Amino acid sequence: MKIGNGKIWQQAAGDGNRNYVDFCLDWDVILNGPAEHGIWPNCQDKILEDELSKKKVTDLKRFCEDMQDGDLVILRVGTKNVYGVGEIVGDYEFNEEFNDIDGWHIAHTRRVRWIWKYSQAPKRFDKWALKWGDTTQVLSEDACAVREWLNSLQTPENFQNQELKILPKKEEYENIDLEQISEYLFGKGVSSASISNLMNEIGELVRIAKWYRSSGETPSEQETMNFLVVPLLRALGWTPQKMGIEWNNMDVALFAGLPRGRDSLSAVVEAKKMDEPLLPAFDQAISYAGDSEQCKRIILTDGLRYFVFARCESMLNNKISRFSQAPIAYLNLARLRPEYPLYECKGAKEALLAMAPEWK
């Protein structure tokens, strides 16, 4: 691949604690935020009102306006790891489905036709081969090792004819109402009393979560547990006898029966602060579940968002994995969707059922 004199961009896809590399590569996009205030350029004044730096507005301008169809882009995490190289396709877009990437609102979107993607490990350079700082930057002229590597890449055959993955659209996944959820849960055997409690509780939980955001307050993990997570679990039908708070290092342990113990452990709930990444906590939650044969579920939550993983014996890197790494369902109390194509899993109805005591 001859890079010539065209513009080359470096685009960050998260950091060491949370990255969204695979979302970008799987959906043929690069992403930027914040996007809570809507489409560019209408969002500029709101971003500044939120006391974000003017640098962020400049960064978004590069992404939304300065990037051009045909420019090259390098997908990076940190200053030495490259996960993808591609060509910008078309103009800036705003896709609201990317406003829910494990707590990040990054709906500012550019389409990319990927020339090279990492396999098991990224392409690594010396530290600081790539610039630190803004999400979207022009690649430095003195990034010689990176440029030399780009020149060595082979462009795939029929590259220009490769179809981009069709992105999900908001109108295709409209929110479902509470009545639909009620009917679904009742049909699956959840009691009327639990359903009534749940429907009342969801509205209250959303109001609490919105208050935290509008007030600028960030609830601690303990507040998240007390005011958001435990009330939802209680509304689903879990009794205090079958809920162990901070039991054996677990934020919440849910039990199928009594007495409490590893032989009756049904689910592990790992809670984080609101908007913190949840998916990186997957391995931690599995370690808490240990070798319990009865533990069938892992639930990761920040009080508003809930990922549910189910037991599924499989081999992963020559080791037995007792849980699928893909969630079976996802719930965002502020966006009650029937499914979540970005996570390739079911949505609100199935997630609530999977967190209920009746789930098998």
Residues 324 and 205 in one domain: yes
Residues 289 and 325 in one domain: yes
Tell me the pLDDT band of 5, cut-offs 50, 70 and 90: low
Residues 136 and 163 in one domain: yes
112 strand-pairing partners: 88
Q: What pLDDT is recorded for position 30?
A: 98
User: Looking at the domain assignment, is residue 19 inside a domain?
Assistant: yes
Residues 159 and 235 in one domain: no
Note down the domain range covering 59: 8-167
Phi first, then psi: give them for residue 352, nearest 5 degrees. Answer: -65, -40
Residues 149 and 179 in one domain: no
User: Is the separation of the CB atoms in 3 and 20 below 8 Å?
Assistant: no
Tell me the pLDDT band of 316, cut-offs 50, 70 and 90: very low
User: Looking at the domain assignment, is residue 360 inside a domain?
Assistant: no
Over residues 238-282, the pLDDT tens digits come to: 999 999 999 999 999 999 999 999 999 999 999 999 888 999 999
Q: What pLDDT is recorded for position 10?
A: 97
Q: What pLDDT is recorded for position 3?
A: 67
Per-residue DSSP letter, 43: T
Q: Residues 6 or more apart from 206 whose CB is under 8 A from it?
A: 304, 333, 334
Residue with the larger pLDDT of the pair 23 and 214: 23
User: Is the separation of the CB atoms in 60 and 36 below 8 Å?
Assistant: no
Residues 147 and 193 in one domain: no
Tokens of 275: 């908007």
Residue 322 has pLDDT above 80, yes or no: no
Residues 147 and 247 in one domain: no
Tell me whether residue 100 is exposed, middle or buried, using C-beta atoms within 10 angstroms of its C-beta: 0 to 12, 13 to 18, 19 or more.
buried
Residue 317 has pLDDT above 50, yes or no: no
Residues 117 and 200 in one domain: no
Which of 125, 147, 167 is the C-terminal boundary of a domain?
167
User: Looking at the domain assignment, is residue 121 inside a domain?
Assistant: yes
What percent of the chain is helix, strand and coil (3-state, nearest 5)? 35, 25, 40
323 strand-pairing partners: 311
User: Looking at the domain assignment, is residue 115 inside a domain?
Assistant: yes
Tell me the pLDDT band of 284, cut-offs 50, 70 and 90: very high
CA separation for the pair 241, 257 (Å, rounded): 9
Give the DSSP letter string of 81-98: EEEEEEEEEEEEEE-GGG
Out of 97-111, 145-159, 315-329, least confident range: 315-329
Tell me whether residue 1 is exposed, middle or buried, using C-beta atoms within 10 angstroms of its C-beta: 0 to 12, 13 to 18, 19 or more.
middle
Tokens of 360: 């098998």
Model pTM above 0.85: yes
Classify strands 136-138 and 81-94 as parallel, antiparallel or unpaired: unpaired
CA separation for the pair 189, 166 (Å, rounded): 37
Average pLDDT, the chain: 90
Which of 139, 167, 195 is the C-terminal boundary of a domain?
167
Residues 334 and 262 in one domain: yes
| CA-based nearest residue to 111, from 93, 98, 96 | 93
User: Is the separation of the CB atoms in 234 and 252 below 8 Å?
Assistant: no
User: Looking at the domain assignment, is residue 123 inside a domain?
Assistant: yes
User: Looking at the domain assignment, is residue 1 inside a domain?
Assistant: no
Over residues 49-76, the pLDDT tens digits come to: 876 678 899 999 999 999 999 999 999 9
Over residues 136-158, the pLDDT tens digits come to: 999 998 899 999 999 999 998 88
Which of 133, 167, 201 is the C-terminal boundary of a domain?
167
User: Is the separation of the CB atoms in 227 and 212 below 8 Å?
Assistant: no
CA separation for the pair 91, 88 (Å, rounded): 8
User: Looking at the domain assignment, is residue 3 inside a domain?
Assistant: no
| CA-based nearest residue to 36, from 79, 116, 100 | 100
- CATH code of residue 108: 3.10.590
| CA-based nearest residue to 117, from 23, 197, 32, 206 | 23
User: Looking at the domain assignment, is residue 2 inside a domain?
Assistant: no
User: Is the separation of the CB atoms in 117 and 84 below 8 Å?
Assistant: yes
CA separation for the pair 235, 205 (Å, rounded): 11
Residues 218 and 325 in one domain: yes
Over residues 107-123, the pLDDT tens digits come to: 999 999 999 999 989 99
Tell me the pLDDT band of 314, cut-offs 50, 70 and 90: low
Total count of domains within the chain:
2
Residues 153 and 289 in one domain: no
Residues 157 and 184 in one domain: no
